[in-house]
Structure 1
């Protein structure tokens, strides 16, 4: 029977980042269990993408994987333009608005999920301290006094000192160990696709708030291609999916006020429901949840993946004994003791749950602000956006939040220039 220090169920972006971060800072052994092995990139971009902020870029850079990511397909943006379809309010964020020593080269990057995962997977396979279990899914979990047991059906079981669930929003690990969640249906579905924009995206990420929800245009690696995330009511999503390509192009072009020229559909139109989830606790016995297994938020600010990557960096820092004095935890001199130290694990849970709860509240406030309202409310909203756009201190604060420079950052995510 093989034994590991940490077993990670879920080999997506967050789980693989955790594995590499643990190995970067220690000699702990890691097992990654996931039957979905990476697929080769195709000529057409994947319709699921992530907006990677500066803090996440720092994590990937310190894990020596950033150059592998951007060496495939990635697109930076230096501007963000946000406007209200129902009013006249607008916000413009530019890289020039970022001042101080922590000024990155870009506001952010739009990268296909497959590109990020493939680069992380390849890097992890090169580490002799990381073992992959891909033939069979984990069939059962047993938590003992000193170990966690994981069985695979016909394969030999393995044991670990700690189990991490990084297996997504519908986490199997979370259900197996009965870790309850708080959830709320956003009553929105997200339409995702690749589109072509006649006037190109101009190094800008665009977002318009429509009466039914936000529509984002995220720049891809070709100058006229964008990935869209259109959050709208289930009924409107069904109607839009039923349109032919010509009719859809007409509607989405009108939705953008023609700011990107004529917009045409270049891929299938994916659709998935949106729900807020927050695990009531991120730690139970020798099991920890991170990423979407612990929390999901509305995609209107593109921060879901970044939140999960910070979970991974924070947990690796906690487990490897890199807890700083201001975090208020006493770290064992034997690094392996941290894997089952309830005080340290609970401290990690408080740290990351507070960040997740704050982000959930912020997304809810923005969503409510742009729900269909009376004309006087739209007027006040428009005035507020315009004032904010011209008030430098507040605007700079929002930009720093978008970059990920907020809260208590793990060491891997801190900007060093």
Structure 2
């Protein structure tokens, strides 16, 4: 039997961030279970990317992993350009035009998921208090009054893994969370009736360090700026696309030849990035809103996509998850410095309920905001489209409202976990 303070199921970006955050301010002993090996970095750009905002960058900086992330194809952007294909409305955001965060020149960064996970994993491997279990999946979890007991599946080709006892189990194992299902934690579901198509494209006119998003009658299409691979001799800028559209339309687009697909992207973007060229495979996945009715059940906590998933049109999903990790670490370690190093009763039901309310409130607000934006850009009659365009243009020229929207994009809001602030403010 192996004993740990916290068992984290899922060593993705969110789970690894939690492990490092717990170790930053405590001596808690952490077990991490994940059979998906970390992807080694090479010159091939992954189509799976995340838009990292300033709050998340602060978390990575305070955990000491930002230099490793930034040095591996992290593309900063200072501008956002949003426009309505069916109307006249547009919005332009710039970090330099905001007083929200005067010490930050960027609105955010577009980074491959494998780059982030690799940096976090490498940092965690160097920490003697974090132990990885990568040979076998978990078979069961059961809990008593003060501990949780976890067993592993055993196969002929894998070594025997001794069961684990821990004070707390954290499900950071994604949208189809095994932990959530084991604990019968109820979820609210809503099908967005959209599939997202992702891929990598060349943009001959350059991305101009700008995140581009056009609202089409079929759904939003985003061009997220990427840093070219080290072995790419071309001077042409690259972008990651996220194209959300109805399932039938997504199937049609996936069936197109690459050249024809690229022509549709060029037309959809009004040629603002030049004649687009597809340089990767295309992948599609259905979009579903998920929200756990409670993020905590007994000695089990859900964070990240295990607790909530939202529409990707604002690129905030992973940022929500990283804040979950920072908030849970803060909740669990807040009282440890009041006791000696042998203090183990850090799992407090009242504190965990407060954590659940804290994070569920923000997730609910974000889900509502995404639903409102999506509905606002559904196909409408001409008078509605005109009003929508006028509203966008009014916001574009009204600084107080724009600053609030920029603050949302930066991730700057009330009640952030301490790790999400700049290091000088800690």
Scaled by the length of structure 1, what TM-score is found?
0.96
* Correspondence for 1:189 among 179, 195, 201: 195
What's 2:16 paired with?
Answer: 16
Q: Provide the C-alpha distance between the structure 2 equivalents of 1:388 and 1:322, rounded to a whole number of angstroms.
A: 44
Within the alignment, does 1:56 sit opposite 2:56 as a pair?
yes
Q: Provide the C-alpha distance between the structure 1 equivalents of 2:350 and 2:132, rounded to a whole number of angstroms.
A: 30
Tell me how far 1:338 sits from its aligned partner.
2.4
What's 1:42 paired with?
Answer: 42
What's 2:116 paired with?
Answer: 116
Tell me how far 1:214 sits from its aligned partner.
0.3
What's 1:363 paired with?
Answer: 370
What's 1:290 paired with?
Answer: 303
Q: For the Cα contact (< 8 Å) 1:184–1:275, is it kept in 2?
A: yes
Q: For the Cα contact (< 8 Å) 1:179–1:280, is it kept in 2?
A: yes
Q: For the Cα contact (< 8 Å) 1:332–1:338, is it kept in 2?
A: no
Tell me how far 1:102 sits from its aligned partner.
4.9
Q: Provide the C-alpha distance between the structure 1 equivalents of 2:171 and 2:31, rounded to a whole number of angstroms.
A: 12
Tell me how far 1:146 sits from its aligned partner.
1.3
What's 2:251 paired with?
Answer: 238
Q: CA RMSD in A?
A: 1.4
Q: For the Cα contact (< 8 Å) 2:85–2:215, is it kept in 1?
A: yes
What's 1:326 paired with?
Answer: none
What's 1:7 paired with?
Answer: 7
Q: Provide the C-alpha distance between the structure 1 equivalents of 2:383 and 2:107, rounded to a whole number of angstroms.
A: 34
Tell me how far 1:72 sits from its aligned partner.
1.4
Q: For the Cα contact (< 8 Å) 2:335–2:346, is it kept in 1?
A: no
Tell me how far 1:415 sits from its aligned partner.
3.0
Aligned to 1:300, what secondary structure does the other structure show? helix
What's 2:157 paired with?
Answer: none
Tell me how far 1:414 sits from its aligned partner.
1.4
Q: Which runs of 5 or more residues in structure 1 are unaligned?
A: 324-330
String of CA shifts for 1:178-216, please: whole Å, max 9, x gaps. Answer: 000001000000000000011010110100000010000
What's 1:352 paired with?
Answer: 359
- Residues paired across the two proteins, number: 409
Q: Provide the C-alpha distance between the structure 2 equivalents of 1:100 and 1:233, rounded to a whole number of angstroms.
A: 36
Aligned to 2:27, what secondary structure does the other structure show? coil
What's 1:274 paired with?
Answer: 287
Q: Which runs of 5 or more residues in structure 2 are unaligned?
A: 155-160, 229-235
Q: For the Cα contact (< 8 Å) 1:139–1:152, is it kept in 2?
A: yes
Within the alignment, does 1:145 sit opposite 2:142 as a pair?
no
String of CA shifts for 1:335-374, please: whole Å, max 9, x gaps. Answer: 63222x1100000000000000000000000000000011
Scaled by the length of structure 2, what TM-score is found?
0.94
Q: For the Cα contact (< 8 Å) 1:277–1:295, is it kept in 2?
A: yes
What's 2:216 paired with?
Answer: 210
Q: For the Cα contact (< 8 Å) 2:62–2:423, is it kept in 1?
A: no
Tell me how far 1:249 sits from its aligned partner.
1.2
Aligned to 1:347, what secondary structure does the other structure show? helix
What's 1:255 paired with?
Answer: 268
Within the alignment, does 1:304 sit opposite 2:317 as a pair?
yes
Aligned to 2:162, what secondary structure does the other structure show? strand
Q: For the Cα contact (< 8 Å) 1:355–1:407, is it kept in 2?
A: no
What's 1:173 paired with?
Answer: 179
String of CA shifts for 1:110-138, please: whole Å, max 9, x gaps. Answer: 00000000000000000000000000011
Q: Provide the C-alpha distance between the structure 2 equivalents of 1:101 and 1:15, rounded to a whole number of angstroms.
A: 28
Tell me how far 1:266 sits from its aligned partner.
0.5
Q: Which moved more, 1:139-148 or 1:378-387?
A: 139-148
Q: For the Cα contact (< 8 Å) 2:201–2:238, is it kept in 1?
A: yes
Within the alignment, does 1:225 sit opposite 2:238 as a pair?
yes
Q: For the Cα contact (< 8 Å) 1:50–1:110, is it kept in 2?
A: yes
Q: Provide the C-alpha distance between the structure 1 equivalents of 2:177 and 2:189, rounded to a whole number of angstroms.
A: 14
Tell me how far 1:333 sits from its aligned partner.
4.4
User: Where has structure 1 moved over 6 Å in runs of 4 or more?
Assistant: none
Q: Provide the C-alpha distance between the structure 2 equivalents of 1:130 and 1:100, rounded to a whole number of angstroms.
A: 37
Q: For the Cα contact (< 8 Å) 1:14–1:166, is it kept in 2?
A: yes
Tell me how far 1:26 sits from its aligned partner.
0.4
